[in-house]
Amino acid sequence: MATAATLPVVGPGARDLLRRAGALSPVLAVVALLLVPGGGGAEGGTGGTGTVADAASGLLVLVCLVRVARGRARPLTRTAAVVLGLPVLGICLAAITSNDPASSLPGVARYVQVFVLVPAAVLLTVRDRRDFAVIAWALVGLALLQGAVGVAQYLTGTGASYQGEDVRAVGTFGATDVMGMATVVSYGLVVVTGIALGSGPGRARTAALVCAGLLFLPLVLSFSRGAWIATVLACALQLLLAGPRRAVRVALAAGALGVVLVGGLGIGSELVEERVASITRVTAAPDQSVTDRYTMWAAAGEMWRAEPLTGVGLKGFPQYRDAHASVALSSGSDTAGAGAGFQRQPLLSPHNMYLLVLSEQGLVGLLALVGSWTALLVGALRRRGGFGPGSGAGADCALVATGLLVWQLVDFFYADIGGPSTVLMAVVFGLAAWWSLVGARRA
């Protein structure tokens, strides 16, 4: 029988981690439940998917409301309330002025969930930089698990269909949400890049570099051009903010890693080369997906010109699409593989968040949303002294928050809300909001 002297003792560091995990459990549950395979397709635009992670986000908001009520203190500063609440103006105005207000109500709930309630709940849940770090590493853990599933799908030919082969890495999100794994892995890669470039402990930076190497491959095998572009730009900005010398060293290391994985080992080299080349073929010989995207972008512009101030109403893009789109638009995109049979997925959104908001909420809605995001980005960048080596404990948070925010705002040129991974976007906005509106002041 073990005596008291031989029983394992939990140190103060471990106890602190357990306490933090308990306090952050509503947020961590949202992240963890994204490992649960989704049963439905990814509804574009303002659509919701009703996943268990979405249910967990509702519980997160409820728990946060209870904590605020028990605390009897003003939960947000006036600035934070204005910045996070600004999107509500355009959302509600678009719903009220819609030709079918009843059909716009689900869109109101989805937008408020993703851009207001969940980010505010995350902001109020995070107490300090250690809490921020726990959630950031949770994003990395999710990315590693989803990425491992994606690489296995490529190697075993059980992924989503791509050019007639079931090799596209999609993780547990399935063939109907091919952007899900790419988004999660990109978040993880941006987080570890910020940690590796920060001023944290050496072990943390080493672990971040190892994770970056592991996440590079599944991102490549996702064949997501939008995620590639957003990741390159976000990480490049992080490198520049961290200092030119470190930027050169990390860029050389990343380039060498890419040559070894894609060039030297030949992992997906032909498919990747063709996919990269297709980024520049937007006018000469575009594929059907590019043609569809530009056609829907043009249709969104026509909708905005018809209703410039308030748009056609939330969830109105599918209803007005055919009346404004040219004959070049196909009936939908083909999806197959990753455990699902062939199906035709309708094109319900322009796959550009800015144009989706402009068409459905008009200029008022776009200015409200973009104004909120711009305020967060300006707040994150405002303390330039918080970046780079020797800048203190806030460097990691600054680089991570700025990188995540820039990644999302760039990716919005190629994607919009929809699918199970959307709720994770809300968590990311919450982390960025905490640093921009609260954390930076404590650095």
The pLDDT score that the predictor gives to residue 185 is 97
Question: What CA–CA distance (Å, rounded) separates 227 from 279?
Answer: 12
- Burial of residue 47, with CB atoms counted within 10 A of its CB: 0-12 exposed, 13-18 middle, 19 or more buried: buried
- Chain centroid to Cα 280, Å, comes to 24
Question: What CA–CA distance (Å, rounded) separates 266 from 249?
Answer: 24
Report which of 244, 251, 309 is spatially closest to residue 96, judged by C-alpha positions. 309
The pLDDT score that the predictor gives to residue 309 is 92
Question: What CA–CA distance (Å, rounded) separates 370 from 115?
Answer: 11
Question: What CA–CA distance (Å, rounded) separates 75 from 239?
Answer: 34
The answer to whether the beta carbons of residues 101 and 3 sit under 8 Å apart is no
Three-state DSSP at 384 gives: helix
DSSP structure string for 8-59: ----HHHHHHHHHHHHTHHHHHHHHGGGSPPSS----TT-----HHHHHHHH
pTM of the model: 0.88
Token digits of residue 162: 């791509």
Token digits of residue 433: 């909001």
The answer to whether the beta carbons of residues 42 and 182 sit under 8 Å apart is no
In Å, the largest CA–CA distance within the chain is 80
The pLDDT score that the predictor gives to residue 282 is 54
Query: How many other C-beta atoms lie within 10 A of the C-beta of residue 233?
Result: 16
- Burial of residue 176, with CB atoms counted within 10 A of its CB: 0-12 exposed, 13-18 middle, 19 or more buried: buried
Give per-10-residue mean pLDDT for the chain (443 aa). 41 67 89 80 48 93 90 80 94 89 88 96 92 94 96 89 83 86 96 86 84 91 90 92 75 67 57 64 60 86 92 88 73 61 72 94 95 94 58 73 96 89 95 87 54
The pLDDT score that the predictor gives to residue 269 is 59
The pLDDT score that the predictor gives to residue 281 is 58
Residue linked to tokens 């509503």: 26
Three-state DSSP at 168 gives: strand
The answer to whether the beta carbons of residues 223 and 287 sit under 8 Å apart is no
Q: Which positions ≥6 away from 231 have C-beta within 8 Å? A: 186, 189, 190, 219, 407
Token digits of residue 324: 């404004």
Question: What CA–CA distance (Å, rounded) separates 33 from 98?
Answer: 34
The pLDDT score that the predictor gives to residue 19 is 77
Residue at 358: amino acid letter: L
